[in-house]
């Protein structure tokens, strides 16, 4: 794959994820803050506005503001920069790997933008319930990150099932 095509795929996916994430969070703030939670599809999908100062399921929200800043903004920002660099210049990355990393970058950037511009918090507003199973509250950025991880795992299954056999010397 050419460098320009890799760059274009990365930028389009990252900016699309970031744009969708920020737009849905803005709509959630406008529509859900003044109302009770909204349930759809027989309580399978629920919309409820919340602000999360921690990671998934509020992990780390009880840490001091300074510690949260260093972990969720500085460290996360550095990690995203490292992933971006790897995505753009890494050797032997196929299209599915570039898409996977770009989805994770777009989602990570969406949550980082929230933290930087909203005083260290991330807006969450979606919950899915399937029988006894219920997700933590999440947002479009989280969905992008998880989609990238799933695509990465699914695209690697064939190589795990059929590893390249090492050539024997001799």
Q: What is the pLDDT of residues 46-96, one digit of tens each?
A: 999 999 999 887 889 999 999 999 999 999 999 999 999 999 998 889 999
**169 lies in a domain?**
no
Clarify whether 142 is annotated catalytic: yes
- Which residue has better confidence, 70 or 167? 70
**126 lies in a domain?**
yes
**45 lies in a domain?**
yes
Residue 165 binned pLDDT confidence (cut-offs 50, 70, 90):
low
State the pTM of this model: 0.88
**164 lies in a domain?**
no
**104 lies in a domain?**
yes
**84 lies in a domain?**
yes
Q: How far apart are CA 2 and CA 86, in angstroms?
A: 15
**Residue 72 DSSP label:** I
Domain count along the chain: 1
φ, ψ for residue 163, nearest 5 deg:
-65, 150
Helix or strand run (H / E) with residue 104? helix 95-117
**77 lies in a domain?**
yes
Residue 102 corresponds to which tokens in the numbers above? 């770009």
Q: Domain span at residue 149?
A: 3-159
Tell me the CA distances in angstroms from 155 to 93, 94, 101, 104, one per residue in order.
12, 10, 12, 15
Can you give the pLDDT at residue 12? Answer: 98
CB 106 within 8 A of CB 21: yes
Residue 56 corresponds to which tokens in the numbers above? 């998934």
Q: In the block, which residue shows the tokens 């690697």?
A: 156
φ, ψ for residue 128, nearest 5 deg:
-115, 135
pLDDT over 70 at 168, yes or no: no
Can you give the pLDDT at residue 159? Answer: 76
Clarify whether 91 is annotated catalytic: no
pLDDT, the chain, mean: 92
**167 lies in a domain?**
no
From 21, 43, 114, 124, active-site residue: 124
pLDDT in tens, 107-153: 999 999 999 999 999 999 999 999 999 999 999 999 999 999 999 99
């Amino acid at each position: 794959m050419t460098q320009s095509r890799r760059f274009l795929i990365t930028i389009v996916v990252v900016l699309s994820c970031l744009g969708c994430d920020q737009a849905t969070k803005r709509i959630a703030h406008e529509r859900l803050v003044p109302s009770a939670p909204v349930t759809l599809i027989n309580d399978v999908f629920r919309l409820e506005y919340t602000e999360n100062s921690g990671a998934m399921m509020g992990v780390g929200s009880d840490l001091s503001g300074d510690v949260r800043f260093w972990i969720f903004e500085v460290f996360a920002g550095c990690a995203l920069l490292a992933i971006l660099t790897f995505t753009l210049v890494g050797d032997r990355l196929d299209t599915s790997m570039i898409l996977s990393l770009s989805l994770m970058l777009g989602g990570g950037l969406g949550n980082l933008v929230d933290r930087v511009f909203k005083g260290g918090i991330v807006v969450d507003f979606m919950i899915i319930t399937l029988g006894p199973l219920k997700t933590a509250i999440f947002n479009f950025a989280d969905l992008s990150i998880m989609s990238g991880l799933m695509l990465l795992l699914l695209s690697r299954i064939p190589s795990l099932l059929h590893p390249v056999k090492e050539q024997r010397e001799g």
